[in-house]
Amino acid sequence: MRRNKPIRWLLALALGARLTAAGGIDPAQYLEDVKFLSSDELQGRASGSPGLDKAAGYIEAQFRADGLEPLAGGYRLAFPVAVSATCGEGNRMAFRDGPKLVDLKLDSEFRPLSFSSSGVASGQVVFAGYGITAPEYGYDDYRGIDVTGKLVLVLRHEPQEYDEKSVFAGRIYTNHTQLESKGRNARLHGARGVILVADRPNHPNSIDELPGFSGAVGSASLGIPFVEVTADVAEEWVRRAGRTLDSVVKAIDKDLRPRSFALPRSFHVDLATDVRQQLRGVQNVVGYLPGRSEEYLIVGAHYDHVGLGEQFSLAPSLKGTVHPGADDNGSGSAGLIELARWFAGQPRHRRGIVFVAFAAEELGLLGSNFYVDHPVLPLGKAIAMINMDMIGRLRSGQLFIGGVATGSTFKKIVDEANRPARFEIESADHGGYGSSDQYSFTPKQIPFMFFFTGLHPDYHTPSDTWDKIDAGSTARLVDFIAAVAQRLVDSPQRPRFVKPSR
């Protein structure tokens, strides 16, 4: 890592990179980045807010100053989010079995979700388990069924959610449990609409009542109707196929094998949805350092936070005050900026690096999902993804790295880079931890590493402030991440994606 240090130092000076005398990340400059991103001026960086736009401008300016190249005509890649939604008067739902037509009651038996499209859909119903396609886990609820032009009935969460040994991470939901992910997956499989139902056997204490319509910020329309029905309604339907929801859920959880099936052809659902969204554009900020080949590494961090608390605050009495998000995720965004600056001061590597500041992570990984669906470079050329989320509060040298098991060369690389760094590293055998932007890349079988220093009482509260960031320790951590990244972009061997073991 320190060979050719004089050359790097001169190049770094020529590019205006602010490196310490040792050639690593400057803690003072790192903290300046965090201070700006978590300042009152940015008002908590909520998706769709002027504060998030200012943060995007700051990150873009750093990328531009350090000589990163824009992609797709600029540094910012825009996509829409819904800043509000209202439920209109045209929502209707009914089912028929032969000549009999039964109307469902809005609010008590069915309700559209805020990201549903407005429109009509009718047809046969197919039960598609949890609605998940996860090639990284060898699991696919759509395997062996055809849902083209049909409505799919899917369960709310994910299989084996209370099994800590599960490939689905156990107790910590993956990106596949996001309702937007279930909707996108259904649409990709040709479904005409989605009907959601709670997986009641896993939540026996829940009351079978529909949650109120949420008009809060979130995903823009998925392009197909998406509604939720009560478990009692869905139970009545699946009994027509000789099944019960309880037995199907328990069977899937037992052996992690899909149990999807079509309801009788005589059974049809007629659906009309009326959801009115107010949309606003947000931007992923992307900069590129080319390598000597077309392959590249993705380094990312989300730069949005929860604004004034809104629906995400963990301090309900303080909603309406700025939630600065210094650690979540000013710390990772500042690390992204400083890594870009550091690598810009080096000679060209074997592989390039795409640096991405993701927007709308707090709304359900929307920015990283959008990036995966609209990549600026071919994803087949991406060798790995590094994600930094909440890296600013290292305690006693303890560092969590999720995803080490997803790359065939990762453990060796991490061990080598850690010999001089001497962090106390914890990793997960099943390959991941938490629901952050790295999960958007797993369906494409891109191996990832997720750097994280842990939750704390200030998480999603107004007290997540810059003065609690340990700049010295975090700069040392970003140095370590740089060492890992450098090995990835220079190694002759490309890491192979490894499916998590149970």
Mean pLDDT along residues 324-347 = 97
Would you call 338 helix, strand, or coil by DSSP?
Answer: helix
Mean pLDDT along residues 326-335 = 98
Write down the H helix ranges in 422-469.
Answer: none
pLDDT at 428: 62
- Given a cut of 60, whether residue 407 has pLDDT beyond it is yes
Domains of the chain: 5-80+281-490 (3.40.630.10), 89-273 (3.50.30.30)
Mean pLDDT along residues 467-479 = 97
Which residues are within 8 A (CB) of 10 and not within 5 positions of it... i.e. 6 or more apart?
none
Would you call 65 helix, strand, or coil by DSSP?
Answer: helix
Residue 19 contacts residue 26 (beta carbons within 8 Å):
yes
Mean pLDDT along residues 33-55 = 97
pLDDT at 270: 96
Residue 274 contacts residue 331 (beta carbons within 8 Å):
no
pLDDT at 222: 78
User: Hey, what's the torsion of the CAs at 152, 155, 156, 159, to 10 degrees?
Assistant: -130
How far is 376 from 78, CA to CA, in rounded Å? 12
Residue 327 structure tokens: 């650690």
- Given a cut of 70, whether residue 14 has pLDDT beyond it is no
pLDDT at 176: 80
How far is 291 from 485, CA to CA, in rounded Å? 13
- Given a cut of 60, whether residue 99 has pLDDT beyond it is yes
CB atoms within 10 A of CB 394: 20
Mean pLDDT along residues 18-31 = 72
How far is 343 from 288, CA to CA, in rounded Å? 11
- Residue closest to 229 by CA, chosen among 91, 346, 68, 411: 91
- Given a cut of 50, whether residue 188 has pLDDT beyond it is yes
- Given a cut of 90, whether residue 298 has pLDDT beyond it is yes
pLDDT at 363: 85
Q: For 497, left (φ over 0), alpha (ψ -120 to 50), or beta?
A: beta
How far is 28 from 362, CA to CA, in rounded Å? 28
How far is 363 from 165, CA to CA, in rounded Å? 27
Supply the mean pLDDT for the chain: 89
Query: pTM for this one?
Result: 0.79
Label each residue of 223-254 as H, E or C: CCCEEEECHHHHHHHHHHHCCCHHHHHHHHHH
Give residue-wise pLDDT tens across range 229-267: 999 999 999 999 999 999 999 999 999 999 999 999 999
- Give residue 479's Cα distance to chain centre: 25
Q: Letter for the amino acid at 204?
A: P
- Residue closest to 344 by CA, chosen among 13, 26, 27: 13
- Of the pLDDT bands very low, low, confident and very high (cuts 50, 70, 90), residue 324 is very high
Gyration radius (Cα) of the chain, Å? 24
How far is 436 from 312, CA to CA, in rounded Å? 15
CB atoms within 10 A of CB 266: 12
Lowest mean pLDDT among 278-282, 304-308, 310-314: 310-314
The 8-class DSSP code of residue 116 comes to P
pLDDT above 70 as % of the chain: 91
How far is 392 from 470, CA to CA, in rounded Å? 6
How far is 74 from 52, CA to CA, in rounded Å? 18
Beta bridge pairs of residue 285: 76, 357
Altogether, the residues listed in the chain come to a count of 502
pLDDT at 10: 34
Give residue-wise pLDDT tens across range 70-90: 998 899 999 998 888 899 999
Give residue-wise pLDDT tens across range 353-384: 999 999 999 988 899 989 998 999 999 999 99
Residue 320 to residues 45, 85, 212, 299, 359, Cα–Cα distance (Å): 13, 20, 21, 33, 21
Strands 448-452 and 267-273: unpaired
Residue with the bigger pLDDT between 216 and 151: it is 151
pLDDT at 6: 34
Give residue-wise pLDDT tens across range 433-462: 457 899 889 888 999 999 999 989 999 999
pLDDT at 115: 87
